[in-house]
Structure 1
Amino acid sequence: MEQFLGSYNTVYQGGVGEIVMKKSRFISTVSPAETEEEALAFIESLRKKYWDATHNCYAYIIGTNNPIMRCSDDGEPSKTAGKPMLDVLIAKELTNLVVVVTRYFGGTLLGTGGLVKAYQSATIEGLNNSVIIKKEPGVHMQIKTDYNLIGKLQYFIAQENLSIISSEYTDIVTLELMIPLNMVTGFQKKLSDLSNGTISGSKIKEAYFAIIDGKVHLF
């Protein structure tokens, strides 16, 4: 399963950014993409949307283990558009996303350096308007306890900055948490220590998770 390959940064929600340089418009559109097919379909949709544009350049990175990296200058001088865009994604350590920068020519040539700056700046602007998250591998775990131990348990959870997915208070307390993969063994030991061996977490599933607006999201 991919979650054993570690955490990674990606786009949760794509955004759009625009810059103008010497009357040329550069519109950057960012989208999540889990597969190369998704990335290519997104690029094609932007080509149709901006059918009258001078260029629709793109860059994408897919995967965390030997990732697929592709880019295109779409008619701009070699290595002045797609590669600079890709360099931004690499520098920000992002994956599973695609960026298309659409150019409407303004009548003034920018030169090689100007084009590189424009395409990189547009890419950054699009990313600034996107929601970027860190996906971490973890274990979705359920814990059941009586009311005598809930105070200790809540204190421990807060100290370790662990993410509670849900809580239910009936005759017992049932908590569901997301535990980072590298903390699971230590977490189980601490549960046992706190409860003299009466509490242990039961695994529901392994999954990627991220904290978005203070809430846990599973993937």
Structure 2
Amino acid sequence: MRIKDTYENTIVIQKSIFITRIFRVDSISMVEEKLAEIRKKHYDAKHNCYAYILGDNQEIQKASDDGEPQKTAGAPMLDVLKKNNMTNILAIVTRYFGGILLGAGGLVRAYSSSVSECLKLATLYDTKLQTKFSLITSYQGYNTLLKVIPYITLEDTSFTDQVLITGSLDIDKYELFKEDLYKYKINGDTLTKLGDFQVEVPIEE
């Protein structure tokens, strides 16, 4: 799952202030840019801990405790992202120390809950595969297509002596589409598959 926007949340635990931001990132350079931005903004903070995941299969993962005891900040933040099946995401938690030591267990809970609470604010998106196609048909075939095949998206239509259609549909409906073109006599012989691509769709709660 992915996010598209930036979200921010603040919690206070034992007088320490934890400011969490989650960003949509698509490259390591974007990660570095956001980290530099937050470090500059919160130059006076005790810690700017982070975790990020990149790639369709979550193949790039990294976390940093930024001075907190080992595995008490970045690792639990990363665990939250992984448990929520997130990718292309960067979480940064800025901590202003409140003078009270939280202990290892307290830090793990603080950093993990900070990211969890921030994720609750986010609109989440999942990816699905679609196929782009072109089709040449008659005006009658075009009108029939509009009436009986609701699961395609028309992207471009050119009208001459025939109708040239470019559109897309979910990849798992492509075979059904071919069958329907012949079933409704919409000149299925001219159907051309132009390629597959990913789209992001919001997850309904």
TM interval, short-chain normalised:
0.7 to 0.9
**1:207 correspondence with 2:197:** yes
Unaligned runs of 5+ in 1: 1-8, 215-219
Specify every segment of 5 or more residues in structure 2 that has no aligned partner in the other structure, as ranges.
Answer: none
Which of 148, 153, 174 matches 1:184? 174
Task: Tell me the equivalent position of 1:26.
Answer: 18
TM-score of the superposition, structure 2-length normalised?
Answer: 0.82
1:10 aligned counterpart, secondary structure: coil
How far 1:151 moved relative to its partner? 5.3
**TM-score normalised by structure 1 residue count:** 0.77
Letter aligned with residue 87 of structure 1: D
**Residues 14 and 24 (structure 1 numbering): CA distance in 2 closer, same or farther, change over 3 Å?**
same
The one-letter code matched in structure 2 to 1:189 is E
Q: Which residue identity does 1:209 align to in structure 2?
A: V
SS for the counterpart of 2:2 is strand
Q: What is the Cα deviation at residue 167 of structure 1?
A: 7.1
1:104 aligns with 2:96: yes
- Superposition pairs of residues 3-22 of structure 1, within 5 angstroms: 9-22=1-14
Structure 2 residue 133 is matched with structure 1 residue 141:
yes
* Cα distance change of structure 1 residues 173 and 196 upon mapping to structure 2, 3 Å threshold: closer
Q: Distance in 2 between matches of 1:95 and 1:33?
A: 9
Distance 1:142 1:55, change over 3 A: same
How far does residue 191 in structure 1 lie from its aligned partner after superposition? 2.5
Q: How does 1:1-219 map to 2 (within 5 A)?
A: 9-65=1-57, 67-143=59-135, 146-147=139-140, 150=143, 153-157=146-150, 162=151, 164=153, 166=155, 177-195=167-185, 197-198=187-188, 201-212=191-202
Aligned length, in residue pairs: 202
Aligned-pair CA distance for 1:90? 0.6
Q: Is the 8 A contact 2:53 2:86 kept in 1?
A: yes
How far off its partner does 1:204 sit?
Answer: 4.5
**Residue deviations 1:23-64, cap 9 Å, x none?**
211111111111222212221221111111111000011112
Q: Distance in 2 between matches of 1:79 and 1:213?
A: 31
- The alpha-carbon distance between structure 1 residues 139 and 111, as it changes in their structure 2 partners (threshold 3 A), is same
Aligned to 1:6: none
CA distance in 2, matches of 1:150, 1:24: 65
Larger Rg: 2
Q: Could you tell me how far apart the structure 2 residues matched to 1:47 and 1:163 are?
A: 46
* 1:186 partner letter: L
Give the C-alpha shift of residue 176 in structure 1. Answer: 5.1
Q: Secondary structure at the match of 2:173?
A: helix
> Contact 1:62–1:95 (CA<8 Å) still a contact in 2?
yes
